[in-house]
Amino acid sequence: MNIHEYQAKEILRRFGVPIPPGEVATTPAEAEAIATKLGGPVMVKAQVHAGGRGKAGGVKFCKDAATAREKATAILGMQIKGLTVEKVLVTTAADIGTEAYVGIIVDRRTKKAVFMVSAAGGIDIEEVAATTPEKIHYHPVDPRYGLQPFEAQQMGFFLYQDPKQARAAAKIMQQLYAAFLATGCSLAEINPLVVTPTGDVIAVDAKMVIDDNELDRLPAVAALRDESSEEPSEVAARKANLTFIKLDGNVGCVVNGAGLAMATMDLVKYYGGEPANFLDIGGSSNPEKVVNALKIITADPSVKAILFNIFGGITRTDDVANGIVTATKANPLKVPIVIRLTGTNEEIAVKILTENGFSASSDMDEAVQKAVALAKGGKAA
């Protein structure tokens, strides 16, 4: 789950990270009022779940409160990478001396949380990583002991020669690591970490991505979710415990398991069709999930044929069959459906389907070819 910059900053502030004051606004008037309260020049920053906000014109320097109102008017409602800006952060503009980068990510290769720090921070950090990798220092943290003060200090001195600044950065890294753990992050980054002309080390931008698997046990973090900034169809799918990604084709796919779902999409393409979506109904099944999956798929007018590909393991194919029957009784289908299922409780599933007028195949290639042909308006091969 993504959270906004202003939310990440509120979390980091609680852990002691020095961050310029700021508040979030949803109207130009609010933005002006916050700027007046803060006094002096401010930054108005679009709060959307997309990178490259600055390059898209969603981050502006404002010399006074009147300018803040004007810039907020322009930014609110703006589209950045297909997302509408609903909120802006109005924050005191920091004087920037140098910009560094500090990030932590759960790394699948080392199987640890890994710190990445670089004195060459700012918006071009990925370019720095690609062209001058020696400018980035990597430090995996041993999860049994956590980040030790000396480790943080080593990284602090990698960033700054001035001992006071190195120690200040080390302290921020300890605070960032504590916040990373407590918030259930898979990623946390401060970019840029700024040294002001007076020598203070402060965090000017922050990003956190939360591991979805943490949300059940961290309700306060789960409450930070901003549904207005997500795809509506994906919000509906998540509420139904399904993983759904909308694509451009016309074969609606309902599959169990991410690997098989991707392989099914690949096969649709292999046989000359285009998948309309990625939809994984997941492991442990119940008929309700299938009902919801069909609702989401049939809501898409570009879907010309529906393809079920279910290989039962922990998913019981009879649950899926019952779901199909329940859903289609309530809302009769307007497009053809091709059902392939095999595995756990297959005999019961096939019996349920045939008794209700459906046919089921046990061959994946056959079912995919049939669905592709039907989506093209042809007869089933």
Partner 1 sequence: MSVFVTKNTKLLVQGITGRDGSFHAKQMMEYGTQVVAGVTPGKGGQTFENTVPIFNTVAEAVKATGANTSVIYVPPPFAADAMMEAADAGVQLIVCITEGVPVLDMTRVRPYVMEKGARLVGPNCPGLISPADKAKVGIIPGRICTPGPVGVVSRSGTLTYEVVYQLTRAGIGQTTCVGIGGDPINGTNFIDALEAFEKDPATKAVAMMGEIGGTDEQEAADYIKHHMKKPVVGFIAGQTAPPGRRMGHAGAIISGSAGTAAEKIDAFKAAGMGVAQRPKDFVQLIQERLK
- Residue 360 CB, nearest approach to partner 1 (Å): 15
Catalytic residue among 30, 32, 151, 189: 189
Shortest spacing between CB 48 and partner 1, in angstroms? 12
Q: Is 178 in the site for partner 1 (CB under 8 A)?
A: no
Interface residues for partner 1 in 98-157 (CB under 8 A)? 101, 103-109, 111-114, 116, 125-126, 129-130, 136, 138, 142-144
Rounded CA gap, 8 and 190, in Å?
A: 10
SS3 content of the chain, % helix, strand, coil (to 5): 40, 25, 35
101 catalytic per annotation: yes
22 binds partner 1 (CB under 8 A): no
Separation CA 256–CA 128 (nearest Å) = 40
Say which residues have a Cβ less than 8 Å from residue 88's Cβ, sequence separation at least 6: 24, 25, 26, 31, 44, 45, 46, 47, 72, 75, 76
CB 76, min distance to partner 1, A: 23
Angle at which helix 258-270 crosses helix 364-375, to 10 degrees, equals 60
> Considering only CA atoms, which of 179, 177, 182, 173 is closest in space to residue 201?
173
Binding residues among 37-66 for partner 1 as defined by CB under 8 A: 51
Of 101, 151, 160, 346, which residue is the catalytic one?
A: 101
Q: Which two three-digit tokens encode residue 128?
A: 């720095």
- Residue 342 in contact with partner 1, rule: CB under 8 A: yes
Q: Is residue 260 within 8 Å of 243, Cβ to Cβ?
A: no
Check residue 312 for interaction with partner 1 (CB under 8 A).
yes
Q: Which residues are catalytic?
A: 101, 189
Binding site for partner 1 (CB under 8 A): 51, 101, 103-109, 111-114, 116, 125-126, 129-130, 136, 138, 142-144, 181, 184, 186-187, 189, 191, 207, 209, 211, 213-214, 216-217, 245, 247, 255-260, 262-263, 265-270, 275, 278, 282-284, 311-315, 342-344, 364-365
